[in-house]
Amino acid sequence: MGNRAGDTKITGATDRIAPDGRWFGNMRVVGIMDLDKFRKEMSKKVADPYSVVLKCKKLPMGLLQDAASLTANDSAASLGTDLLVLKPFKHAFGSKSRRRRVKLDQYTSKQ
């Protein structure tokens, strides 16, 4: 009975399931050309003060900038702090670690 499915016998032709496009319909995959078009249109709309983008939470706003142009130094510079200057790695992790909990107030306030 192990070689039967329901009332039909499993043979070499029926042991595999044919792929179907409906299984992959809800994935959010975009091509390079569509991504470039989205970047151009959104940069125009964001720059225009007389237009409003509705349902912007559904739009991937993080894709407006190239991933190659973003670096770790840019993100640290945008925060105004460099984490390794404030807390060196050997003091945060390791045998001489001093940190018990995160002190968020020194990272959020700009001096």
Confidence of residue 22 (pLDDT cuts 50, 70, 90): confident
Identify the bridge partners of residue 5 per DSSP, sorted by sequence position: 8
pLDDT at 88: 73
In DSSP terms, 4 is beta-bridged to 9
The yes-or-no verdict on residue 46 having pLDDT over 60 is yes
Return the percentage of the chain with pLDDT > 90, whole number: 1
pLDDT confidence of residue 74:
55
pLDDT tens-place string over residues 57-103: 777 777 776 655 655 555 555 555 677 777 777 777 777 676 566 66
Listed by start position, the domains of the chain span: 13-69, 71-111
Output the DSSP codes for 2-67: TTEETTEE--TTTSSPPP-GGGGTT-----HHHHHHHHHHHHHHHH-TT---SSTTSS-GGGGS-T
Residue that wins the pLDDT comparison between 92 and 33: 33
Q: Which pLDDT score is estimated for 59?
A: 74
**Rounded Cα–Cα distance for residues 99 and 101 (Å):** 6
In this structure, are residues 100 and 74 in contact, taking their beta carbons and an 8 Å threshold?
no
